[in-house]
Structure 1
Amino acid sequence: MESARSRLDGEATGLSVRLLGSLTISRNGVPVALPASRKLRALLAYLALAPHAVGRSRLCELLWDVPNDPRGELRWCLSKLRGALDAPDRRRVETQGDMVALDLSDCLVDALEVARAAAQGIDTLDTERLRTLAELFAGDFLDGLELDRSPHFNSWLVAQRRRFHSYHAAVLEHLAANPPADTPDVSAHLDKWVELAPFDTRAHLALLSNLAERGAIGAAEEHLASAARLFQSEELDFGPVQIAWRAMREQRSGILLPAPPTCLSAVSQLVAAPGDADPVEPSQASLAVMPFVEETGTRGGLADGFTHDIITRLAKLRDFFVIARGSVFALAEKNIAPEDAGRRLNVDYVATGTVRSPPGRLIVSVELIEVRTARIVWAETFERRPDDIFGVLDDIGNSIVSSISAEIETVERNRAMLKAPNSLNAWEAYHRGLWHMYRFTQAENERARHFFDMAVQLDPTFARAYAGLSFTHWQNAFQRWGDRDRESGLAFESAGHSLLVDDHNPAAHWAMGRALWLRGEQDGSLLELERAVDLSPNFALGHYALSFVHSQSGDPQAAIGSSDHSRHLSPFDPLLFGMLGARAMAHVRLGQFEEAAEWALKAAARPNAHAIILAIAAHCLALAGRLDEARGFAAAIRKTLPNYGVDDFIGTFRFEPDAVALFRQGARRIGLG
């Protein structure tokens, strides 16, 4: 990716658009004159940030309050933009049919530079790139630009200003922790960080630490008193900062404080959650779901109820700490931006969204933001016809909850992989275990077991870590990587520990349900798995496990339904091959061999599909009469398992006699009998 610095260096010989501060355009270092029209500037900014072409009707709705001729005014604005942006050999204002777009790919657009860096991850950038980004912030996004009677645009503008404020704060935080070697004084960065995030306890402690390190104790005490009054005016608890400051003073009285980067790393150990938030468990990821709003900016009714439902569903997953409804709604009542609320609540992630109800449609947009880096981890827009409003909201809520859970797990998993193994806490060790577990090889499964074991030793009350440990023993038994009876016993024992620690955790009942299946106790297995999805209807792995058990000796129609639901909840799940494979086996039991073959092929196409999934594909294809394809899978299996046969396949599962006969019939057709 081309750096912002290289673009800035080349600005004198090209086109640049500045949106952070007052909007300006310059070509070859010379300002380009624009008409006085505010709508023209608003149109330029909106199109510059739009990820794709925008319809003319949308632009008219956004910028004009039903004037006499909105499309005529839009055409006038576009013609003026062409004059400012286009060159004889390059058209930048692109119109095709009803769609409008800007091509600024080879220009410096300061806001886009910052947005690209945030998408890459501000915490991954080197010091020079951070410093260059900080120089781009000349003021608020579209500073001084407001439109009368354009509520849709003003709502977008407020959101963008919040967004770039958060990016600026994140850049300054990381610059303060990693000052440039040639300009080690980070005072200006810290002052600006506090200005942008006045209720971020980390910003205040970083500034206090820097002042103390420079011996400016008096200035630090003055700042402490001023900040305390500010927090008090908002009924926020400043006590944790005062306690941390006293600890720093005591440390300084004996030993000189370390340099600012080390101080900043210690801040996270010293700052507790603000008093108006629920206490956050420091070893666990935390999330605040801010109240969704109507596009007009109002709250209440449908949006509030939808938010409450999402918070409840996420809490039932028990994947991470979820801030209670009262805290987030109290902050929203004060019109505090979601990113600022996330910093006040001292959480790792914040989710926010909007609800629109144009005629005949319901549109819900949602974003998941990593608070410290201001990075948008996940964003999606759901559009449905509101034929059954409650059913539609339930469906959208399912997708949002499952996606948030999956995205946070992915971020935490990847972060844990970048840390030294001996520095992991229980939460990080658990996610390191997940990373290895989802590789589905014997060696990786053993590494996963090691990290899950580390997690439960570090935190004996960590139910999901016990469930993960149970999963590794289950894999050893299922894949025959170890003695099946012994590994089945260990899977059952670990699942029992998980239940003892947290009987309301769906993962604990999921682990126990799978362990009971290994022991041949199908009725008990189904009871535990049903309990898992009763506790959390959004627990995708619970629905998958139900499909897995029913596909062999239960209700094959129920297996198909559970498979479909698990995939709807988690369409990119690492266990997607199993969800697809379970459906394939259910179709075999229903005599639907062609359907079974198609689903089995989808399962085998997954990149982490193991030999048992390939065996499902081989047998299903054989039953469907697709013998050449089936023999290809049989040959692929025998490359790694030379003696693999139908008895191995049958012995892996717990099929009813009719299903056993069918699979043996298929095996004989392709030489696996």
Structure 2
Amino acid sequence: MEHRLAAVLAADMAGYSRLMEADERGTLARLKTHRIELIDPAIAKNQGHIIKTTGDGMLVEFQSVADAVRCAAEVQIRMRRRNADVPEAGRIQFRIGINLGDIIFDEGDIFGDGVNVAARLEQMAEVGGVCVTQAVYEQVFDRLEIRFEDLGEKALKNISRPIRVWRAVLDDAADPRAGDGSARHSVVKPSIAVLPFANMSGESEQEFFVDGLTEDIITELSRRHELFVISRNSTFVYKGQSVNLREIARKLGAQFLVEGSVRKSGGQLRVTAQLIDTATDAHIWAERYDRKLDDVFAIQDELTAAIVATLPGRVEAAQQDVVARKTPANMAAYECVLAAKVRHHRSSRAENEEALKLVTRALELDPEYAHAHAWRGCILGQAWGYGWCADKDAAFDEVVRELELAQALDSNDADVQRILAAISISRNDLTKARHHQERALALNPNYDLVVVQHGELLTWLGHPKEGADWIRKAMRLNPHHPERFWSHLGKAHFTAREYPEAIEAFMHLSKMDANQHAFVAAAYHWLGDRTAASAHLAQIDKVDPEFTIDALVSTLHYENEADLHHLVDGLKSPEAAQVKA
């Protein structure tokens, strides 16, 4: 047995039994997500060591008292943000107690008075709160920007002596801007209101379908963090009324309105939808959907996905002309991010540099704009991937820092989870990538960048045919998708040994880089067309004289060695003798 002085953090989940009884699988899944995304990384970042876990709690040892308190504050503050949109009955919340004392290590577990006091303190803490002993308080009160409230001496169960207890006051710390004198710059996002769709069928039984369609569209649009969506309660006030659209827009504060109608005729259903710019009364977009009335709920899901997948892109496109006429110094944070996205998608070094300037300007306007931090990480990641940075290691570290900050500010942003998945892919940690990717899909299943990346991940995991299906779905979701989607599709088809389809996909690119020429050359090799293979191999040297197979391999993330060798073997054929290993 080993004795030593240590800071002990005891944490317990409030209402664990109640939550498990109500939804066992869902509770465990949410708890696992919080562990992976927040709790375990916070412990590791603060040099903590998890001694043991129970179903609803854990014991953690820290060498530094300050690290233990920092960790506890971070967990509780970020859990508060994560629970902001969760009904109170379903919230996962913790109590935390911290003590500094003598502990005994024996066979991987810890015992002793130091542990017992921490456990009792945890039981006294309020839900979402942190209690510490006098010994802890004396170590940190003047070292951390956290206030403490003296609760006085308390009699703790099975502890013979009274213990003086302090409560961490996390209200001010919950907002990192508090007390620094800085004003919050509000992010002015485009606002959109979905008016109740009109039932043109003359059948009252169709009202449930029409209202359900409208509500689903509002709910799904609300997943898009780049939009401010007016609530259902506000828009349904106008149901069945003859209204002036500009007057409604003024009352709701909406820049854009969506209106539509549903008409049933025999076994057919027709849904129309249109997007209106309220400043000009211009109809930006309109579409008509005709479906057979076989399963109204399936139709409702399909129409919702189709409309929601299209609208955000149309809203962005409508604003791009306005943004283009502004200088960055005069642009609001959202508009800077919007302009940065447009530049990023052009995938050139010069455009990437301009995109970085724009998104950096957005963060100057609002340092805590999570979506902007996520996109700054994405833009830096593009520079890292293409080698447009002087120090790749430093650039990658900066990408990781941006995404950690974005996740701390808003873990429910689909872009945050999408880019965290991309970082994990680049590290060949496909298990973690799948976790973040599934989170991104759950947050926004109709976002083309999330959907296309799911196809990429499935390709790396050895399911390229399924991956190709997801990539084609992303192309349908965004008919104006970035050109690189064709490259992703080409790689999926090649990995599936579908060579003609792979070549056809790559041929959609206006210009291929050396890696893309390599995939096409290998595809022609496996088809037995040595002439075409040689032509693309020759293009590799023209496009990138420094190209090597090893450099290509470093950009690939195949889980199955056979998939990697399939490409490499196609580039080590007789006609590929000039390609450098």
Partner amino acid for 1:662?
H
Partner amino acid for 2:492?
A
* Corresponding residue for residue 360 of structure 2: 453
Q: 1:560 aligns with which of 468, 471, 478?
A: 468
* Corresponding residue for residue 539 of structure 1: 447
Partner amino acid for 2:289?
F
3-state SS, counterpart of residue 301 of structure 1: helix
* Corresponding residue for residue 589 of structure 1: 495
Q: 2:520 aligns with which of 617, 627, 635?
A: 617
Provide the identity percentage: 24
| CA 351–625 in structure 1, closer or farther in 2 if over 3 Å, else same | farther
Partner amino acid for 1:348?
Q
| CA 481–382 in structure 1, closer or farther in 2 if over 3 Å, else same | same
| CA 636–441 in structure 1, closer or farther in 2 if over 3 Å, else same | farther
| CA 623–454 in structure 1, closer or farther in 2 if over 3 Å, else same | farther
Q: 2:419 aligns with which of 511, 514, 519?
A: 511
Partner amino acid for 2:225?
R
Measure the CA separation in 2 of the matches of 1:608 and 1:402. Answer: 28
TM-score relative to the length of structure 1: 0.54
* Corresponding residue for residue 217 of structure 1: none
Question: How far apart are residue 608 of structure 1 and its match?
Answer: 7.5
* Corresponding residue for residue 475 of structure 1: 382
What's the Cα RMSD here? Answer: 2.4
Measure the CA separation in 2 of the matches of 1:610 and 1:366. Answer: 40
Matched, 1:432 2:335: no
User: Does structure 2 retain, via aligned residues, the 8 Å contact 1:440–1:608?
Assistant: no
3-state SS, counterpart of residue 460 of structure 1: coil
Q: Considering fraction of residues, name the structure with more helix.
A: 1
* Corresponding residue for residue 353 of structure 1: 260
| CA 372–596 in structure 1, closer or farther in 2 if over 3 Å, else same | same
Q: After superposition, what is the alpha-carbon deviation per residue over 1:239-290, rounded to whole angstroms, capped at 9, x for unaligned?
A: xxxxxxxxxxxxxxxxxxxxxxxxxxxxxxxxxxxxxxxxxx7711110011
Q: 1:368 aligns with which of 268, 271, 275?
A: 275
1:657-668 pair list within 5 angstroms: 657-668=561-572
Matched, 1:287 2:192: yes
3-state SS, counterpart of residue 265 of structure 2: coil
* Corresponding residue for residue 429 of structure 2: 521
3-state SS, counterpart of residue 367 of structure 2: coil
Partner amino acid for 1:290?
L
* Corresponding residue for residue 233 of structure 1: none
| CA 352–600 in structure 1, closer or farther in 2 if over 3 Å, else same | same
| CA 404–632 in structure 1, closer or farther in 2 if over 3 Å, else same | farther
Question: How far apart are residue 564 of structure 1 and its match?
Answer: 2.8
User: Does structure 2 retain, via aligned residues, the 8 Å contact 1:547–1:563?
Assistant: yes
1:118-267 pair list within 5 angstroms: none
Matched, 1:642 2:550: no
* Corresponding residue for residue 292 of structure 2: 385
Unpaired runs of at least 5, structure 1? 1-280
Measure the CA separation in 1 of the matches of 2:431 and 2:256. Answer: 40
Measure the CA separation in 2 of the matches of 1:626 and 1:361. Answer: 50
* Corresponding residue for residue 209 of structure 2: 302
Segments of 4+ moved more than 6 angstroms? none
Measure the CA separation in 2 of the matches of 1:508 and 1:621. Answer: 38
Aligned length: 388
Measure the CA separation in 2 of the matches of 1:607 and 1:350. Answer: 36
User: Does structure 1 retain, via aligned residues, the 8 Å contact 2:217–2:308?
Assistant: yes
Q: 1:421 aligns with which of 320, 328, 343?
A: 328
Measure the CA separation in 1 of the matches of 2:529 and 2:509. Answer: 20
Partner amino acid for 2:272?
S
3-state SS, counterpart of residue 652 of structure 1: coil
Partner amino acid for 1:385?
K
3-state SS, counterpart of residue 388 of structure 2: coil
| CA 474–626 in structure 1, closer or farther in 2 if over 3 Å, else same | farther
Once the two structures are overlaid, the 10-residue window that deviates more, 661-670 or 343-352, is 661-670
Measure the CA separation in 2 of the matches of 1:337 and 1:303. Answer: 21
Partner amino acid for 1:582?
H
User: Does structure 2 retain, via aligned residues, the 8 Å contact 1:314–1:322?
Assistant: yes
User: Does structure 2 retain, via aligned residues, the 8 Å contact 1:290–1:338?
Assistant: no
* Corresponding residue for residue 26 of structure 1: none
Q: After superposition, what is the alpha-carbon deviation per residue over 1:585-617, rounded to whole angstroms, capped at 9, x for unaligned?
A: 23333333233323333xxx2447655444443
Partner amino acid for 2:285?
W
User: Does structure 2 retain, via aligned residues, the 8 Å contact 1:362–1:386?
Assistant: yes
Measure the CA separation in 2 of the matches of 1:468 and 1:282. Answer: 15
User: Does structure 2 retain, via aligned residues, the 8 Å contact 1:338–1:352?
Assistant: no
| CA 608–587 in structure 1, closer or farther in 2 if over 3 Å, else same | closer
3-state SS, counterpart of residue 394 of structure 1: helix
Measure the CA separation in 2 of the matches of 1:428 and 1:660. Answer: 42
Once the two structures are overlaid, the 10-residue window that deviates more, 620-629 or 341-350, is 620-629
1:23-172 pair list within 5 angstroms: none
Q: Considering fraction of residues, name the structure with more strand.
A: 2
| CA 468–490 in structure 1, closer or farther in 2 if over 3 Å, else same | same
* Corresponding residue for residue 348 of structure 2: 441
| CA 620–393 in structure 1, closer or farther in 2 if over 3 Å, else same | farther
Partner amino acid for 1:525?
A
Partner amino acid for 1:519?
R
Q: After superposition, what is the alpha-carbon deviation per residue over 1:511-534, rounded to whole angstroms, capped at 9, x for unaligned?
A: 111112222221111110110111
Partner amino acid for 2:234?
S
User: Does structure 1 retain, via aligned residues, the 8 Å contact 2:256–2:276?
Assistant: yes
User: Does structure 2 retain, via aligned residues, the 8 Å contact 1:587–1:596?
Assistant: yes
Question: How far apart are residue 302 of structure 1 and its match?
Answer: 1.1
1:6-21 pair list within 5 angstroms: none
| CA 633–384 in structure 1, closer or farther in 2 if over 3 Å, else same | farther
Once the two structures are overlaid, the 10-residue window that deviates more, 477-486 or 455-464, is 477-486
Once the two structures are overlaid, the 10-residue window that deviates more, 432-441 or 388-397, is 388-397
Measure the CA separation in 2 of the matches of 1:583 and 1:513. Answer: 19
Once the two structures are overlaid, the 10-residue window that deviates more, 631-640 or 450-459, is 631-640
User: Does structure 2 retain, via aligned residues, the 8 Å contact 1:495–1:515?
Assistant: no
| CA 468–282 in structure 1, closer or farther in 2 if over 3 Å, else same | closer
Matched, 1:502 2:406: no
TM-score relative to the length of structure 2: 0.63
